[in-house]
Amino acid sequence: MEVIKILWDEIILFLGVDGLLSVFQSGDYSSLLTLKGIQTALAPVIPLLLILEIVRALLYRRFRAADYKVTTLTYMFNRFVSRFISIAAVAFCVGLFGRLALFKSTFTWYWLIYGYIVWEFAHFIYHYLAHKVRLFWCLHSTHHAPENMNLSVTYAHFFLEAPYADVIRTSICILAGVNPPLLFFIMFVDGFWGAFIHVGDNILSDGRLGFLQRIILTPSHHRVHHARNPLYMDTNFCNLLNVWDWVFGTLQPEKEDVAIEYGITRPMNPGSFLDMYFGEIAALWRDVKNGPGIKNKLLYLVMPPGWSHTGEHKTAKMIRDEFRRRNLNT
Ligand SMILES: [Zn+2]
Ligand SMILES: [Zn+2]
């Protein structure tokens, strides 16, 4: 019976309904009108959408267990390790950098705009490095390995990625004066939107969201980010406001005539949890082992994926630039 109880608790936690259940039990519905209450009410939305996505796929006979297998295994593995490290990392950075903050902001709408722009900048830095530094790509590639887009992809991350991302994002925001309650609110909105943009075309076939695509980052933009097509590689690093993609020239809208191919360019076994989780680390290890001299070995760790000591580089930037040169009108 103990096992059933543990499983039940895990299901409740995954569905995000634990907060709502305690509100129902207490009968104190007024708490739902507070900021924390709104967060409690929204927590089950993404898990429920994921279930809806799977049910729809089943009804239309488009469900393929392989699309969900590795992402589910990753979620289960991470459930045990990463969340706790990440929470500890955020608390540590808030304590460490709080005293060094340039100034102190408060929880108001104008500081929210400021805080969000700073947060997006910090997110851009973390995400850009995750794609451009081979060692960090080893942590991030797990999220890019799935060859299909659906909401379970939002749970597919290497367990050390969340702490690494949160250390960079929290440190920059705290140093830039974003006050902690405001930061936690931004993290909540970001987490919600960051999950939603992985909605599959089962539920939302056109992810551009009409006029919204002009002002925010839509599921369509993030589908492009997950694509391995030469035109789409290493673009759209932002999460909700794509202001920094615009500033740094990495904004790439989805093009009607370039159908998205999800996944990474390395040949891999998409049904293998081990390949998805450790495949890039194994590939890096091989390159470091075979690289001549200590300098080349170290360069493999910090240069972008595709860099080679032989000079025959195949980085995402080179592949994309080459594609755009050949198709001048893109
Ligand atoms: Zn990415
Ligand atoms: Zn993603």
Rounded to 5 degrees, what are φ and ψ at 81? Answer: -120, -50
Residue type, 2: E
Ligand nearest to the CA of 238: 1
Q: Using the mean position of ligand 1's atoms as its centre, give its distance from the Cα of residue 7 in Å.
A: 32
310: pLDDT strictly greater than 90? yes
Q: Using the mean position of ligand 1's atoms as its centre, give its distance from the Cα of residue 127 in Å.
A: 6
pLDDT digits (tens, 9 = 90+) for 180-231: 999 989 998 998 899 999 999 888 989 999 999 988 999 999 999 999 999 9
Of 53 and 301, the one with more pLDDT: 301
Q: Using the mean position of ligand 1's atoms as its centre, give its distance from the Cα of residue 25 in Å.
A: 40
80: pLDDT strictly greater than 70? no
Of 35 and 265, the one with more pLDDT: 265
Rounded to 5 degrees, what are φ and ψ at 227? Answer: -90, 155
Q: Using the mean position of ligand 1's atoms as its centre, give its distance from the Cα of residue 228 in Å.
A: 11
pLDDT digits (tens, 9 = 90+) for 136-145: 999 999 999 9
**Rounded mean pLDDT of 105-126?**
95
| pLDDT for position 137 | 97
Output the CA–CA distances (angstroms, integers) from residue 287 to 90, 283, 301, 313, in the order listed: 33, 6, 9, 13
Q: Using the mean position of ligand 2's atoms as its centre, give its distance from the Cα of residue 60 in Å.
A: 25
Ligand nearest to the CA of 150: 2
Of 151 and 287, the one with more pLDDT: 287
Measured distance CA(4)–CA(12) in Å, rounded: 12
**Rounded mean pLDDT of 63-73?**
75
Q: Using the mean position of ligand 2's atoms as its centre, give its distance from the Cα of residue 150 in Å.
A: 10
Q: Using the mean position of ligand 1's atoms as its centre, give its distance from the Cα of residue 225 in Å.
A: 6
Ligand nearest to the CA of 157: 2
| pLDDT for position 79 | 65
Ligand nearest to the CA of 222: 2
Lowest mean pLDDT among 58-72, 168-182, 224-238, 266-280: 58-72
- What rounded mean pLDDT belongs to the chain? 89
84: pLDDT strictly greater than 70? no
Of 281 and 72, the one with more pLDDT: 281
Number of C-beta neighbours around residue 192 at 10 A? 15
Closest CA to 123 of 240, 254, 249: 240
330: pLDDT strictly greater than 60? no
Measured distance CA(161)–CA(149) in Å, rounded: 20
88 token code pair: 């500890």
| pLDDT for position 81 | 63
Measured distance CA(229)–CA(236) in Å, rounded: 14
Q: Using the mean position of ligand 1's atoms as its centre, give its distance from the Cα of residue 268 in Å.
A: 18
Measured distance CA(242)–CA(226) in Å, rounded: 16
| pLDDT for position 8 | 78
Q: Using the mean position of ligand 2's atoms as its centre, give its distance from the Cα of residue 191 in Å.
A: 11
Ligand nearest to the CA of 219: 2
58: pLDDT strictly greater than 80? no
**Rounded mean pLDDT of 148-159?**
89
Ligand nearest to the CA of 141: 1
Of 189 and 127, the one with more pLDDT: 127
Confidence of residue 10 (pLDDT cuts 50, 70, 90): confident
Q: Using the mean position of ligand 1's atoms as its centre, give its distance from the Cα of residue 126 in Å.
A: 10
| pLDDT for position 57 | 79
Q: Using the mean position of ligand 1's atoms as its centre, give its distance from the Cα of residue 163 in Å.
A: 16
Measured distance CA(96)–CA(69) in Å, rounded: 39
DSSP state of 260: -
| pLDDT for position 281 | 96
Q: Using the mean position of ligand 1's atoms as its centre, give its distance from the Cα of residue 292 in Å.
A: 30
270: pLDDT strictly greater than 80? no
Q: How far apart are the first and last CA of the chain?
A: 60
Of 254 and 82, the one with more pLDDT: 254
DSSP state of 304: P
Q: Using the mean position of ligand 2's atoms as its centre, give its distance from the Cα of residue 198 in Å.
A: 6
Q: Using the mean position of ligand 2's atoms as its centre, give its distance from the Cα of residue 59 in Å.
A: 26
54: pLDDT strictly greater than 90? no
